[in-house]
């Protein structure tokens, strides 16, 4: 879980009544390997995620709307991107064209570079909305590293808080939007985490990096079960 002085200060400053509003229930999804507190049962929508280099990947959006508030987790599955890169190379219009065929570092069809840049690409997509960026930092949730982003809408002054990360070749966008004047969505922020194939929560013992551990093939850090 991402724990910072900023979040801890907010937790101490928000009145208890803010946490009592609505029914927050932990939601666990084994298929996509995450857990989160939602203010209700999420809708699940199947999507197609278009990667930075134009490859199409399967994905799902888990979302709950509570009045003017919106909470969502977007998951894009990059596990099949290497095969897509291979298929792209087969239809390359120019034999040996590097950006189509790639190489050891880039990966066939640039799949490695595409995956390396997935967090940056997704973060930039959020920044391209009609918003003002108010905070953009490195972050981590249970030692899975990623980007922490806060924006304010130029249209209605609503505030969005997001954490973008990759874990085991899946891209995650945890996103909460609340109207101007509403308390920070702390329940959603501090409850983000990971579950294994049995639905049990876990936390890595050392920092996890998707490129280092999945693309480059270094052993993943050991994981400890989290208290549920």
Structural domains of the chain in order of their starting residue, each with its CATH number:
5-78+118-225 (3.40.1000.10)
Phi/psi-derived region of residue 96, left when phi > 0, alpha when psi is between -120 and 50, beta in every other case: left
In this structure, what token pair is assigned to residue 108?
């066939």
For residue 107, the model assigns a pLDDT of 87
In this structure, what token pair is assigned to residue 98?
């590097």
For residue 10, the model assigns a pLDDT of 36
For residue 96, the model assigns a pLDDT of 63
Q: In whole angstroms, what is the distance from residue 71 CA to residue 38 CA? A: 7
DSSP assigned state of 186: H
What are the residue ranges in the chain where pLDDT is below 70?
1-22, 95-99, 101, 228
**End-to-end alpha-carbon separation of the chain, Å?**
13
For residue 22, the model assigns a pLDDT of 57
**b/e map 128-160, b = 16+ CB within 10 Å:** eeebeeeeeeebbbbbbbbbbbbbebeeeebbb
pLDDT tens-digit readout, 112-146: 999 999 999 999 999 999 999 999 999 999 999 99
DSSP assigned state of 213: I
């Amino acid at each position: 879980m991402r724990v910072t002085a900023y979040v801890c200060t907010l937790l101490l400053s928000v009145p208890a009544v803010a946490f009592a509003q609505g029914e927050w229930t932990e939601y666990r999804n084994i298929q996509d390997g995450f857990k989160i507190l939602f203010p209700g049962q999420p809708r699940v929508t199947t999507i197609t995620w278009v990667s930075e280099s134009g490859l199409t990947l399967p994905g799902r959006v888990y979302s709950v709307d509570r009045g003017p508030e919106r909470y969502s987790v977007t998951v894009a599955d990059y596990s099949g991107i290497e095969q897509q890169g291979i298929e792209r190379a087969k239809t390359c219009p120019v034999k040996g064209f590097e950006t189509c065929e790639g190489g050891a570092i880039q990966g066939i069809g640039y799949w490695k570079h595409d995956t390396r840049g997935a967090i940056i690409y997704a973060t930039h997509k959020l920044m391209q909305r009609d918003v003002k960026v108010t905070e953009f930092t490195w972050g981590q949730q249970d030692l899975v590293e990623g980007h922490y982003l806060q924006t304010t809408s130029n249209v209605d002054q609503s505030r969005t808080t997001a954490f973008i990360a990759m874990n085991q070749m899946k891209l995650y966008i945890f996103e909460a939007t609340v109207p101007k004047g509403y308390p920070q969505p702390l329940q959603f922020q501090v409850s983000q985490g990971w579950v294994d194939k049995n639905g049990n929560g876990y936390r890595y013992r050392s920092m996890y990096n998707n490129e280092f551990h999945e693309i480059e093939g270094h052993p993943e850090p050991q994981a400890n079960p989290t208290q549920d």
